[in-house]
Amino acid sequence: MNILILGSGGREHALTWAVKQNPKCDKLIVAPGNAGIAAIAECADLDILDGGAVARFAEEEAIDFVIVGPEAPLAEGVADRLREAGLLVFGPSKDAARLEASKCFTKEICDVANAPTAGYGHFTSSEAAKAHVRKNGAPIVVKADGLAAGKGVIVAMDEQTALDAIDDMFGGAFGGAGAEVVIEEFMEGEEASLFVLVDGEEVLSIGTAQDHKRVGEGDTGPNTGGMGAYSPAPVLSAEIEAKAMEEIVKPTMKAMADRGIPYQGVLYVGLMIKDGQPRLVEYNVRFGDPECQVLMLRLGGQVLDLLQATAEGRLAEAQVNWADDHAITVVMAANGYPGSYEKGTEIKGLAALPEDSMNMAFHAGTKAVDGKILANGGRVLNITARGDNLQEARDRAYAMVDQIDWPEGFVRRDIGWRAL
Ligand code: AMP
Ligand code: GLY
């Protein structure tokens, strides 16, 4: 099977690593990829938001199966374009990708499905939005409707912060994404994520994870794309997972199918858990980054069979073979991230790291220049390890971190603290 993976982050390095282990995988191309991916697969310089260009490339390379990593091409309709060209694709249609691309759409679907989530109001003018905040008071959550690179959500602990956020959003701080605003009830509890494959009809859980969104130790400081993650998430017990599937995932997936927009791909189910009850925080239409890295290390080569079964509508006959294991990933980021940071600094010591089914240094933002590995982004490496328990996995991951010589980068030293 000839496979094309779209994306260039740590998530796509982990997907590439797992897919490659499956004996069914023949040719493997990643577009655009990164320096870590280039060491295990061919990389192609393609504009992955251009569905026509991706379809032409896939035809030239005799690709059988395309796996879409990030949300942006999905929201652009790249999966639709590829399916029109007759390709097998893992990832939802543009319409179904609205589960991530529009917060209003997701809230509406949750209403139809009667899925437990935060109460909300939906506003197209700042006066009405502000009146809602004044009436309900803080804490309260203000969200730009559209995709805003993870920055469109303000959890306001006081009223003024919420009012300012409304001004920012209607003032164009998030471009088109902020033309509509959702204001939600603040939910208390512990957050965790559930990852579910959906083939339009059937759903299959492929694991749980928790990430650390804040840049600083003890979960302090500004929000980031994620500074580390681990799987499984102990707070998402089998009982709570079953509840989330029955009360949230299955009814919303049925509501999508009933509307004529069946969902196909991986569904990232962000949950808030309090007193044994899960409520939906958000859906994403792709794997989490860095959550994907821990899931891939745990699942290995079977991932290709699972993704293929999803794309072919055969999930009813698929199953996951679990080892009773734990995985953790520690993000190494450039000093200054999530604010401004330097690119192009050299990272040494990577070649000496172990690379096997227990230890992987996934590249998130790197570039190879004259045989050197240079940092090329904010989140740069995802040092990922597996073990019989979380402590063992964590010790392995930090042992690798300590072998890396990169003074211009930093890590959080407390990834996994909640679970340990
Ligand atoms: P989202 O992009 O919707 O996941 O929001 C980003 C983060 O904001 C979530 O991971 C939560 O930590 C937080 N958040 C979003 N909505 C709520 C809510 N209704 N109550 C409490 N926290 C929330
Ligand atoms: N790690 C959070 C996300 O991928 O959205």
**Which residue has a Cα nearest atom 3 of ligand 2?**
288
> Which are the contacts of 369, defined by CB distance < 8 A and separation ≥ 6?
none
Measure the CA–CA gap between 80 and 371, rounded to whole angstroms.
Answer: 38
Cα dihedral 171/174/180/186 (nearest 10): -100
Q: Is the peptide bond before 139 cis (omega within 30 degrees of 0)?
A: yes
Amino acid symbol at 85: A
Look at the block and give the residue holding tokens 């919420």.
162
Distance, CA 141 to ligand 1 centroid (Å)?
A: 7
Mutational test site, ligand 2, from 15, 230, 284, max ligand atoms within 8 Å of CB: 284
Domain boundary among 291, 317, 343: 317
In a domain, 376, yes or no: yes
Tell me how far apart the 2 most distant CA atoms of the chain are, in Å: 60
Domain boundary among 267, 286, 317: 317
**Predicted model pTM:** 0.96
Lowest-confidence pick of 38-42, 222-226, 227-231, 329-333 = 222-226
Cα atoms in the 13 Å half-sphere on the side-chain side of 297: 33
Are 19 and 45 in the same domain? yes
- Quick check: 215 pLDDT over 80? yes
Mean pLDDT of the chain: 96
Contact status, residue 227 vs residue 243, Cβ threshold 8 Å: no
Q: Which residue has the higher pLDDT, 148 or 65?
A: 65
How many C-beta neighbours within 10 Å does residue 380 have? 27
Question: How high is the pLDDT of residue 178?
Answer: 65
- How far from each other are the two terminal CA atoms of the chain, in whole angstroms? 41
Are 201 and 305 in the same domain? yes
In a domain, 117, yes or no: no
Measure the CA–CA gap between 11 and 42, rounded to whole angstroms.
Answer: 17
In a domain, 218, yes or no: yes
**CA-288 nearest atom, ligand 2:** 4
Amino acid symbol at 332: M
**192: Cβ below 6 Å to ligand 1?**
no
In a domain, 111, yes or no: no
Beta strands 372-375 and 366-369, pairing class = antiparallel
Domain boundary among 317, 335, 350: 317
Are 52 and 138 in the same domain? no
Measure the CA–CA gap between 273 and 261, rounded to whole angstroms.
Answer: 28
In a domain, 110, yes or no: no
**281: Cβ below 6 Å to ligand 1?**
yes
Q: Which CATH number goes with the domain that contains 361?
A: 3.90.600.10
Question: How high is the pLDDT of residue 323?
Answer: 87
In a domain, 415, yes or no: no
State which residues form the domain around 358. Answer: 326-410
**Which residue has a Cα nearest atom 2 of ligand 2?**
288
Are 78 and 161 in the same domain? no
Contact status, residue 153 vs residue 122, Cβ threshold 8 Å: no
Q: Could you report the per-residue pLDDT of 152-210, keeping only the tens digit for each?
A: 899 999 999 999 999 999 988 877 766 789 999 999 999 999 999 999 999 999 999 99
Q: Which CATH number goes with the domain that contains 164?
A: 3.30.1490.20
> Which are the contacts of 173, defined by CB distance < 8 A and separation ≥ 6?
none
In a domain, 147, yes or no: yes
Measure the CA–CA gap between 206 and 300, rounded to whole angstroms.
Answer: 12
Are 302 and 215 in the same domain? yes
Detail the DSSP E strand segments found in 305-418.
326-334, 346-347, 359-363, 366-369, 372-375, 379-387, 409-410
Secondary structure (DSSP) of 82-98: HHHTT-EEES--TTTTH
Q: What angle do CA 389, 205, 104 make, to 5 degrees?
A: 120
Q: Which of 350, 324, 359, 401 is nearest to 17 (CA)?
A: 359
**CA-188 nearest atom, ligand 1:** 21
Split into its structural domains, the chain has a count of 4
Are 242 and 264 in the same domain? yes
Are 133 and 159 in the same domain? yes
In a domain, 155, yes or no: yes
Q: Band of the pLDDT at 418, cuts 50, 70, 90?
A: confident
Are 168 and 198 in the same domain? no
Distance, CA 60 to ligand 2 centroid (Å)?
A: 33
Are 219 and 301 in the same domain? yes
Nearest ligand to the C-alpha of residue 152?
1
Beta strands 359-363 and 379-387, pairing class = antiparallel
